[in-house]
Chain A
Amino acid sequence: MAKSVEQMAAELADREAIRELPIKYCDCVWRNDIPGIVDLFAADGAFITKGRKREHVASGRDALLKLYGGLTSGDITPRPYIHNHVIDLKGAGRATGRCYVELRNVKQNMKWIGSGFYEDDYVKTGDTWKFKSRTFHTAYMEGTPGR
């Protein structure tokens, strides 16, 4: 059955709000706005890093603040560019998506240092969409941010 105009408008608004999450995430990383990054997550939101050998999970506001607080402490201060964001609305205030990132390093004259992708779960909290979880998969990386 064809969607009503109201349904289409609601879906467009949801998709626009979700599309903005990874963009705001990159914007906050660029500006070292750590509380801004963490505010994009739900209260129990999680960031998961999947490497070839191990996985690291930071879950909840305190753990995320600690994780992102170390973002610029290592040899890499990342500057991300986001691409190819696909979104699947699941209904009932849930959605999933995937987007791809390239990273450059401030500490190496913005040298290109790697790429990968995020698998995201989104949740609508009140009127606002948030990351329920972000899982970062490294495709290739020269070094590790924050280490």
Chain B
Amino acid sequence: MAKSFDQTVTELYDREAIRELPQRYCDCVWRGDVAGIVNLFAENGSFTVVGPKREHTTTGRADLHKSYAEGLASLTPRPYIHNHVIELKGSGRANGRCYVELRDASNNLAWLGTGFYDDEYIKVGDDWKFNSRRFQQVHMEHRQPKAVAQR
């Protein structure tokens, strides 16, 4: 059955809000706005980094804040987001995938690597949030953390 005008507009509005989440995430990372990053997650939201050998998950805003503060202090990534696909699941749920390139602010913005995020989104009140983000590295240049590299 064809969607009504109201349904179509509501879906477009949801997709627009979800599309903005990874964009704002990148904007916050560029500006070192840790509180801004964490506010994009639901209260019990999680971030997982999937590496070649292991994965590490951080859950909840307090731990996310600590993790991002430490991560952005030692690494200085400058992300550019691409290819965001979104699937609305209904009942305030959605998932998506988007691809990122990273450059390194501590090294003349040299290319640092690429990968993709598998995201789950949840509507909290009127706002869409990350329920979870899983970052899958595809390639990452080897570099030492900033504190070591500056010695």
- A: which residues have CB within 8 A of B? 2-3, 5, 8-9, 11-12, 15, 83-87, 98, 100, 102, 112, 114-115, 117, 139-140
Residue with the highest number of chain B CB atoms closer than 10 Å, among A8, A11, A83, A112: A83
| B interface secondary structure, majority | helix
Instruction: Provide the bound-state CA to CA distance between A12 and B8, in Å.
Output: 12
Query: What is the count of residue pairs linking A and B with beta-carbon distances less than 8 angstroms?
Result: 53
| Number of chain B residues whose Cβ lies closer than 8 Å to a Cβ of chain A | 24
Q: Are B27 and A98 in contact (CB under 8 A)?
A: yes
Complex contacts, A2 vs chain B, CB 8 Å: 126
List the 8 closest pairs (A to B, CB-CB), nearest first: A140-B109, A83-B80, A84-B26, A8-B13, A86-B27, A5-B9, A5-B6, A9-B9
Residue with the highest number of chain A CB atoms closer than 10 Å, among B12, B27, B105: B27
Q: Are B9 and A12 in contact (CB under 8 A)?
A: yes
Complex contacts, B30 vs chain A, CB 8 Å: 84, 100, 117
Residue of A nearest to B82 (CB): A83
Is B79 interfacial (CB-CB < 8 Å)? Answer: yes
A-binding segment of B16-24, B49-57, B66-74: B16-24
Complex contacts, B5 vs chain A, CB 8 Å: 5
Instruction: Provide the bound-state CA to CA distance between A3 and B6, in Å.
Output: 12
19 contacts between A and B (CB under 8 A): A2-B126, A5-B5, A5-B9, A5-B10, A8-B10, A8-B12, A9-B9, A11-B13, A12-B12, A12-B13, A84-B26, A84-B30, A86-B20, A86-B24, A112-B111, A115-B78, A115-B109, A117-B30, A139-B78
* Chain A: minimal CB distance from B119 (Å): 16
Given A5-B10, A9-B9, does the pair A139, B81 have CB atoms closer than 8 Å? no
